[in-house]
């Protein structure tokens, strides 16, 4: 990439942005300053989707967009940097995990209750290959396509598919990638939900899965909090989350060959460890 992130930040701020540090990111080139974040991307249009949605999201949910555009074939977006960093759920104690999860649930419920204006609806309705669960038949089709996967794992996936909902709804805005790396927390206070590149119309369960599944040793606590906050029976949550994890793993095994070893380990954990069947205290 030949675009200078410092010039983008300087134009957005109207002053020198100070030092910028390149951050780790799987989908963009990301540069962090003291009070600014610059994203660059030349490979896909997901950053453009995020830019199209951000100005219309409920206030206080995500980082404010300062500037966006395109130079040559490179899309860029510049955001106000908010305090905090992604919480490491493996390292926090149970009290902090529950405090963060309660705030995250509140943030996601605000997103799910959001009535997008006409300008945002076309982006949320876009038909794109997000790899998420859409229904029982689609999950069965992904399972049927699998090759070189041990039979006991195939059998386990088929059992999950048999219990999966027939169809996923597309009725509310969802983030659809809200694992904890996409949150900012300052101590035990959630400050933002980031990276709306996968946001779309879906159902709340699409977000509850990510929040619960990636809570590390606090998975059971977070599942209980979601169940209580949403008045959803725990067995319904577990079944829906298992279906979504099965679909993501099968999808990646079929479409992302570089992830095969990692996804097979995930599949072994899903089937052999049965964490969705033992994830609740109740």
Give per-residue pLDDT as tens, 66-87. 999 988 889 999 999 999 999 9
| pLDDT confidence of residue 121 | 97
| pLDDT confidence of residue 131 | 85
- pLDDT tens, position by position, 169-182: 999 999 999 999 99
Q: Which residues pair with 79 in a beta bridge?
A: 37, 65
The packing angle between helices 234-255 and 260-268, to 10°, is 150
What is the reported pTM? 0.94
| pLDDT confidence of residue 1 | 54
CATH topology for the 94-273 domain: Aminoglycoside 3'-phosphotransferase; Chain: A, domain 2 (3.90.1200)
| pLDDT confidence of residue 280 | 45
Q: Which residues pair with 202 in a beta bridge?
A: 172
Strand 183-186, strand 200-202: pairing: unpaired
Query: Does the structural domain 5-80 have CATH classification 3.30.200.20?
Result: yes
- The domain limits of the chain are 5-80, 94-273
| pLDDT confidence of residue 44 | 67
| pLDDT confidence of residue 220 | 95
Q: CA-to-CA distance for 142 and 254, rounded, in angstroms?
A: 7
Q: Which residues pair with 80 in a beta bridge?
A: 36
Q: CA-to-CA distance for 208 and 227, rounded, in angstroms?
A: 10
| pLDDT confidence of residue 27 | 77
Q: CA-to-CA distance for 71 and 41, rounded, in angstroms?
A: 10
Q: CA-to-CA distance for 214 and 89, rounded, in angstroms?
A: 8
Secondary structure E strands in the chain: 21-23, 29-32, 36-41, 65-71, 74-80, 172-174, 183-186, 189-193, 200-202
* Residues lower than pLDDT 70 in the chain: 1, 44, 278-282
Q: CA-to-CA distance for 139 and 4, rounded, in angstroms?
A: 43
């Amino acid at each position: 990439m030949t675009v200078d992130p410092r010039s983008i930040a300087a134009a957005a701020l109207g002053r020198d942005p100070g030092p910028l540090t390149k951050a780790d990111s799987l989908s963009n080139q990301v540069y962090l300053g003291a009070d600014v974040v610059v994203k660059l991307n030349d490979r896909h249009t997901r950053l453009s989707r995020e830019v199209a949605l951000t100005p219309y999201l409920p206030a206080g949910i995500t980082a404010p967009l300062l500037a966006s555009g395109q130079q040559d074939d490179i899309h860029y977006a510049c955001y106000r940097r908010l305090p905090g960093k992604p919480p490491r759920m493996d390292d926090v104690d149970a009290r902090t995990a529950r405090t963060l999860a309660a705030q995250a649930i509140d943030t996601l419920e605000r997103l799910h209750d959001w009535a997008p204006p006409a300008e945002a609806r076309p982006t949320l309705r876009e038909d794109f290959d997000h790899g998420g669960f859409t229904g029982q038949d689609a999950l069965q089709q992904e399972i049927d396509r699998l090759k070189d996967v041990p039979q006991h794992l195939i059998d386990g996936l088929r059992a999950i598919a048999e219990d999966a909902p027939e169809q996923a709804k597309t009725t509310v805005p969802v983030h659809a990638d809200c694992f904890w790396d996409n949150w900012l927390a300052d101590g035990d206070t959630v400050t933002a939900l980031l990276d709306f590149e996968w946001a779309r119309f879906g159902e709340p369960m699409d977000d509850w899965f990510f929040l619960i599944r990636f809570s590390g040793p606090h998975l059971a606590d977070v599942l209980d909090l979601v169940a209580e906050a949403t008045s959803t029976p725990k067995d319904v949550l577990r079944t829906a989350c298992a279906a979504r994890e099965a679909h993501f793993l099968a999808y990646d095994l079929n479409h992302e060959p570089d992830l095969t070893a990692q996804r097979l380990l995930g599949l072994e954990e899903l089937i052999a460890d049965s964490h969705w069947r033992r994830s609740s205290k109740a």
